[in-house]
C-alpha cells in the first residue's frame, strides 16, 4: 500500500497523526517553560511603559506631525489641477515631500533617546504606509490630468481601473473634484495603499461584525504580549551568553528554540492585523474591498507566497512599480529584482532604525530570496 506502484492516495490519517504529535510536542515546551520560569505575564508592565512619562510621547508626536506631509501633497495637487504649478515643479515638490517622509522619522528616532523601539517601530510603520499612499495619490492624479489632456470625456475612477456608468443613482467623483480634505483623509485611513477616485463602499456598518473584530483585536493583542513575555523574552535573555562567547552549537540551539514561539507570534500577528484590524477599519469606513490576503499557506514557491500574503502591498508594487518598469522597457527579471530590492530596503528600514542597529540582516534576508 505504501509502495510507489500502489494507487492508494488517502494519507489523511498520517496528517492527523502529525497534527497530534505537533500539539503534544508544543504542549511539552509550554509546560517546560512554565516549570522553569514560572508565570511571567504582566500586563501592568506594558501599560507602565506608556504611562511612565505621560507628557512625553515622541512617537505619538511623530505620527501627529505626519499631517503636514498629507496637507502638502493635497496643496501641490490642487495647484497642479489649477495649472499654477507645472508638472516639473509638482514632481519636484512631491519628490521632496516623499523623501522627507522617509528621512524625518529616522532623524527624530536617532536623535531622541527617549523614543522606545516599540514606539519608533510604530511611527516608522505609519510613515512608510503614508509614503506608499501619497506616492499612489500622486500617480493617480497625474494619470487623471493626462487623461483630461487627452480630451477624455469623463473619469469616475483611476486610469488603471475605470468604473462603468452608474445605474443605481450613486454619484461618482471625477477629477479634480476629488482634491478635498475629506477625500484624502478617507484614503489615509482606508485599509488600502492604492488610491482610487471612487472606492467600493458597503451600504451600512454591521455592528455585530464590527464588535466581533474588535473583540478579536483586544484578545489577540493581549495574547501577543503574554506570549512575548512568557516565551520569547526568557529565551532571548538566556541567549546573550552564547552570543558573547561565540558558542555556535548553543547559538543554534537557542535559535531553534526561538523558532517555535516566533512562528506562533507571526501567525497571531498576521490574523490580528490582516483579518481583525483591517476588517475592523474597513467596516468602520464602509470600505468595500476586503481582499487583504489570499491562500499564502498553500504556497509552493517564494513568489507565490509574496504575491498572496500581503495583498495591499502586492497591488501597490504591481500598479506603481512593477508595471511602470515594464512599460519603460525593463525586463521581467530586472523589474522583479527592483521590487525585491525596494521590499528589502523597507524591511531593513523598519527593523534597523527602531533597534538602532544597522547590520543589513533584514535587507540581506529579503534579497537572498
272, 264, 257: which is closest to 222 by C-alpha? 272
For residue 298, give the DSSP letter.
Answer: G
The DSSP H or E segment spanning 108 is helix 87-111
186, 192, 179: which is closest to 138 by C-alpha? 179
Residue from 94, 275, 320, 347 carrying the catalytic annotation: 347
Q: Is 347 a catalytic residue?
A: yes
Do the beta carbons of residue 148 and residue 117 sit within 8 Å? no
Supply the Cα-derived Rg of the chain in whole angstroms.
24
253, 223, 217, 248: which is closest to 235 by C-alpha? 253
Within 8 A by CB and 6+ apart from 352, the residues are: 358, 359, 360, 362
Burial class (CB in 10 A: 0-12, 13-18, 19+), 145: middle
What does the block give as the cell for 51? Answer: 504611562
Active-site amino acid positions: 347
Amino acid at each position: 500500500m505504501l509502495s510507489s506502484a500502489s494507487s492508494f492516495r488517502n494519507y489523511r490519517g498520517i496528517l492527523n497523526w502529525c497534527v497530534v504529535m505537533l500539539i503534544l510536542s508544543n504542549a511539552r515546551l509550554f509546560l517546560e517553560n512554565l516549570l522553569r520560569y514560572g508565570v511571567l505575564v504582566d500586563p501592568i508592565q506594558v501599560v507602565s511603559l506608556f504611562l511612565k512619562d505621560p507628557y512625553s510621547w515622541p512617537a505619538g508626536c511623530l505620527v501627529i506631525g505626519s499631517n503636514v506631509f498629507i496637507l502638502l501633497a493635497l496643496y501641490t495637487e490642487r495647484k497642479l489641477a489649477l495649472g499654477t504649478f507645472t508638472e516639473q515643479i509638482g514632481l519636484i515638490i512631491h519628490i521632496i515631500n516623499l523623501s522627507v517622509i522617509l528621512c524625518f522619522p529616522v532623524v527624530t528616532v536617532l536623535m531622541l533617546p527617549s523614543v522606545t523601539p516599540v514606539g519608533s517601530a510604530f511611527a516608522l510603520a505609519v510613515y512608510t504606509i503614508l509614503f506608499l499612499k501619497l506616492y499612489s495619490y500622486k500617480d493617480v492624479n497625474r494619470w487623471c490630468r493626462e487623461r483630461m489632456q487627452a480630451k477624455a470625456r469623463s473619469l469616475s475612477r483611476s486610469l488603471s481601473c475605470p468604473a462603468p456608468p452608474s445605474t443605481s443613482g450613486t454619484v461618482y467623483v471625477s477629477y479634480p473634484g476629488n482634491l478635498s480634505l475629506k477625500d484624502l483623509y478617507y484614503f489615509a485611513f482606508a485599509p488600502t495603499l492604492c488610491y482610487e477616485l471612487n472606492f467600493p463602499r458597503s451600504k451600512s456598518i454591521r455592528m455585530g461584525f464590527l464588535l466581533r473584530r474588535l473583540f478579536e483585536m483586544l484578545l489577540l493583542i493581549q495574547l501577543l504580549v503574554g506570549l512575548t513575555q512568557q516565551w520569547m523574552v526568557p529565551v532571548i535573555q538566556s541567549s546573550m551568553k552564547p552570543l558573547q562567547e561565540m558558542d555556535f552549537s548553543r547559538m543554534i540551539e537557542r535559535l531553534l528554540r526561538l523558532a517555535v514561539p516566533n512562528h506562533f507570534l507571526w501567525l497571531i500577528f498576521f490574523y490580528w492585523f490582516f483579518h481583525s484590524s483591517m476588517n475592523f477599519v474597513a467596516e468602520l469606513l464602509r470600505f468595500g474591498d476586503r481582499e487583504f490576503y489570499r491562500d499564502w499557506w498553500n504556497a509552493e514557491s517564494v513568489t507565490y507566497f509574496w504575491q498572496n500574503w500581503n495583498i495591499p502591498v502586492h497591488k501597490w508594487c504591481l500598479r506603481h512599480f512593477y508595471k511602470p518598469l515594464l512599460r519603460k522597457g525593463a525586463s521581467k527579471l530586472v523589474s522583479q529584482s527592483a521590487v525585491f530590492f525596494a521590499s528589502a530596503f523597507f524591511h531593513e528600514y523598519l527593523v534597523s532604525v527602531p533597534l538602532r542597529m544597522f547590520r543589513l540582516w533584514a535587507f540581506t534576508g529579503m534579497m537572498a530570496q
